[in-house]
Amino acid sequence: MRRIALTLAATAVAGLLAGCSGVDQAGKGDVAVKSTASAKSNGGAAGGDGAKSYAADVKITKSGVEDHKVWGPHSYVVHYEITNHGPAAANYFAEIEFLDRDGDVLGKTGITADKLGPGKTKRADIAPVEAEIENGKPADIRSARVSQVART
Protein backbone atom coordinates (compact mmCIF):
# COMPACT_ATOMS: atom_id res chain seq x y z
CA MET A 1 0.00 0.00 0.00
CA ARG A 2 2.89 2.35 0.82
CA ARG A 3 4.40 1.77 -2.63
CA ILE A 4 1.14 2.77 -4.30
CA ALA A 5 0.90 5.92 -2.16
CA LEU A 6 4.51 6.86 -3.00
CA THR A 7 3.91 6.24 -6.70
CA LEU A 8 0.76 8.38 -6.66
CA ALA A 9 2.55 11.15 -4.73
CA ALA A 10 5.49 11.15 -7.14
CA THR A 11 3.14 11.23 -10.12
CA ALA A 12 1.18 14.12 -8.60
CA VAL A 13 4.35 16.11 -7.92
CA ALA A 14 5.61 15.44 -11.45
CA GLY A 15 2.30 16.62 -12.87
CA LEU A 16 2.35 19.77 -10.77
CA LEU A 17 5.91 20.55 -11.79
CA ALA A 18 5.16 19.90 -15.45
CA GLY A 19 2.02 22.01 -15.23
CA CYS A 20 3.88 25.00 -13.83
CA SER A 21 6.81 24.56 -16.26
CA GLY A 22 9.34 24.66 -13.47
CA VAL A 23 8.23 28.02 -12.13
CA ASP A 24 6.96 28.39 -8.57
CA GLN A 25 4.35 30.89 -7.40
CA ALA A 26 6.96 33.62 -7.05
CA GLY A 27 8.17 32.92 -10.60
CA LYS A 28 11.62 31.78 -9.48
CA GLY A 29 11.78 28.04 -10.26
CA ASP A 30 14.07 26.06 -12.53
CA VAL A 31 13.96 22.59 -14.01
CA ALA A 32 17.21 20.85 -14.80
CA VAL A 33 17.53 17.72 -16.88
CA LYS A 34 20.60 15.52 -16.65
CA SER A 35 21.23 13.55 -19.80
CA THR A 36 23.94 10.95 -20.24
CA ALA A 37 26.06 13.50 -22.13
CA SER A 38 25.65 16.71 -20.13
CA ALA A 39 23.33 18.62 -17.83
CA LYS A 40 20.65 20.69 -19.52
CA SER A 41 18.15 23.17 -18.09
CA ASN A 42 14.56 23.70 -19.18
CA GLY A 43 15.14 21.54 -22.26
CA GLY A 44 17.62 24.03 -23.79
CA ALA A 45 21.23 23.43 -24.68
CA ALA A 46 23.68 23.40 -21.78
CA GLY A 47 25.00 26.89 -21.15
CA GLY A 48 22.77 28.45 -23.81
CA ASP A 49 19.83 29.83 -21.86
CA GLY A 50 21.46 30.90 -18.60
CA ALA A 51 19.29 28.59 -16.47
CA LYS A 52 21.11 26.83 -13.63
CA SER A 53 21.43 23.05 -13.55
CA TYR A 54 20.51 21.32 -10.29
CA ALA A 55 21.58 17.85 -11.45
CA ALA A 56 24.53 17.93 -9.01
CA ASP A 57 22.11 18.32 -6.06
CA VAL A 58 20.83 14.74 -6.46
CA LYS A 59 23.06 11.68 -6.46
CA ILE A 60 22.68 7.94 -6.16
CA THR A 61 24.96 6.69 -3.39
CA LYS A 62 24.30 2.96 -3.80
CA SER A 63 21.98 0.70 -5.77
CA GLY A 64 21.40 -3.00 -6.26
CA VAL A 65 19.40 -6.01 -5.18
CA GLU A 66 19.01 -6.41 -1.43
CA ASP A 67 16.69 -7.72 1.24
CA HIS A 68 15.06 -4.56 2.57
CA LYS A 69 12.79 -4.18 5.59
CA VAL A 70 10.37 -1.87 3.70
CA TRP A 71 10.73 -2.87 0.04
CA GLY A 72 10.96 -6.63 0.73
CA PRO A 73 13.34 -9.46 -0.11
CA HIS A 74 15.33 -9.34 -3.36
CA SER A 75 14.27 -5.77 -4.16
CA TYR A 76 16.27 -3.46 -6.41
CA VAL A 77 16.88 -0.56 -4.01
CA VAL A 78 18.33 2.86 -4.86
CA HIS A 79 19.89 4.83 -2.00
CA TYR A 80 20.12 8.54 -2.76
CA GLU A 81 20.96 11.97 -1.39
CA ILE A 82 19.41 15.32 -2.23
CA THR A 83 21.53 18.29 -1.09
CA ASN A 84 20.38 21.90 -1.32
CA HIS A 85 23.39 23.87 -2.52
CA GLY A 86 21.30 27.04 -2.84
CA PRO A 87 20.95 30.03 -0.49
CA ALA A 88 17.31 29.37 0.50
CA ALA A 89 14.99 26.45 1.28
CA ALA A 90 13.78 24.61 -1.81
CA ASN A 91 11.53 21.80 -2.98
CA TYR A 92 13.05 19.08 -5.18
CA PHE A 93 11.60 16.49 -7.52
CA ALA A 94 13.95 14.07 -9.26
CA GLU A 95 13.26 11.25 -11.67
CA ILE A 96 15.15 7.97 -11.35
CA GLU A 97 15.35 5.71 -14.41
CA PHE A 98 15.89 1.96 -14.09
CA LEU A 99 18.07 0.39 -16.80
CA ASP A 100 18.63 -3.12 -18.10
CA ARG A 101 22.05 -4.63 -18.94
CA ASP A 102 22.04 -2.91 -22.35
CA GLY A 103 21.34 0.52 -20.81
CA ASP A 104 17.76 0.61 -22.09
CA VAL A 105 15.18 2.29 -19.82
CA LEU A 106 12.82 -0.22 -18.21
CA GLY A 107 10.85 2.32 -16.19
CA LYS A 108 11.12 5.26 -13.84
CA THR A 109 10.02 6.64 -10.49
CA GLY A 110 10.13 9.96 -8.69
CA ILE A 111 11.73 11.15 -5.46
CA THR A 112 11.14 14.38 -3.56
CA ALA A 113 12.50 16.61 -0.83
CA ASP A 114 10.19 19.32 0.49
CA LYS A 115 11.37 22.58 2.06
CA LEU A 116 14.98 21.37 2.21
CA GLY A 117 17.03 24.04 3.95
CA PRO A 118 20.22 25.53 2.50
CA GLY A 119 23.17 23.20 3.04
CA LYS A 120 20.86 20.39 4.23
CA THR A 121 20.82 16.84 2.83
CA LYS A 122 17.99 14.33 2.65
CA ARG A 123 19.13 10.70 2.57
CA ALA A 124 16.63 7.96 1.70
CA ASP A 125 16.00 4.94 -0.49
CA ILE A 126 13.41 3.88 -3.04
CA ALA A 127 12.51 0.74 -4.97
CA PRO A 128 10.34 0.57 -8.07
CA VAL A 129 6.89 -0.95 -7.91
CA GLU A 130 6.06 -3.42 -10.64
CA ALA A 131 3.71 -0.95 -12.37
CA GLU A 132 6.61 1.49 -12.90
CA ILE A 133 8.60 -1.07 -14.91
CA GLU A 134 6.91 -0.86 -18.31
CA ASN A 135 9.55 -2.36 -20.60
CA GLY A 136 10.51 -5.56 -18.80
CA LYS A 137 10.47 -7.00 -15.30
CA PRO A 138 11.93 -5.70 -12.03
CA ALA A 139 14.36 -8.65 -12.16
CA ASP A 140 15.82 -7.14 -15.39
CA ILE A 141 17.09 -4.00 -13.60
CA ARG A 142 20.89 -3.72 -13.60
CA SER A 143 21.42 -0.03 -12.80
CA ALA A 144 19.73 3.28 -12.11
CA ARG A 145 20.41 6.92 -12.95
CA VAL A 146 19.05 10.36 -12.16
CA SER A 147 17.45 11.58 -15.38
CA GLN A 148 15.74 14.83 -14.33
CA VAL A 149 15.89 17.27 -11.42
CA ALA A 150 13.43 20.08 -10.71
CA ARG A 151 13.97 22.67 -7.97
CA THR A 152 11.41 25.27 -6.91
| pLDDT tens column, 27-46 | 344 444 443 333 333 332 33
Q: Residues 92-128: pLDDT tens digits?
A: 999 999 999 999 999 999 999 999 999 999 999 999 9
Residue 52, pLDDT score = 72
Mean pLDDT for the chain? 77
Closest CA to 111 of 13, 30, 5, 23: 13
Q: Residues 42-64: pLDDT tens digits?
A: 332 333 344 578 999 999 999 99
Confidence bin at 140 (pLDDT 50/70/90): very high
Q: How far apart are CA 141 and CA 143, in angstroms?
A: 6
Number of structural domains, the chain? 1
Q: How far apart are CA 76 and CA 66, in angstroms?
A: 6
Q: How far apart are CA 23 and CA 70, in angstroms?
A: 34
Q: How far apart are CA 121 and CA 146, in angstroms?
A: 16
Q: Which domain holds residue 119?
A: 2-151
Residue 128 burial (CB count, 10 A): 24
Residue 47, pLDDT score = 35
Q: How far apart are CA 86 and CA 36, in angstroms?
A: 24
CB 2 within 8 A of CB 70: yes
Q: What is the CATH number of the domain that holds 91?
A: 2.60.40
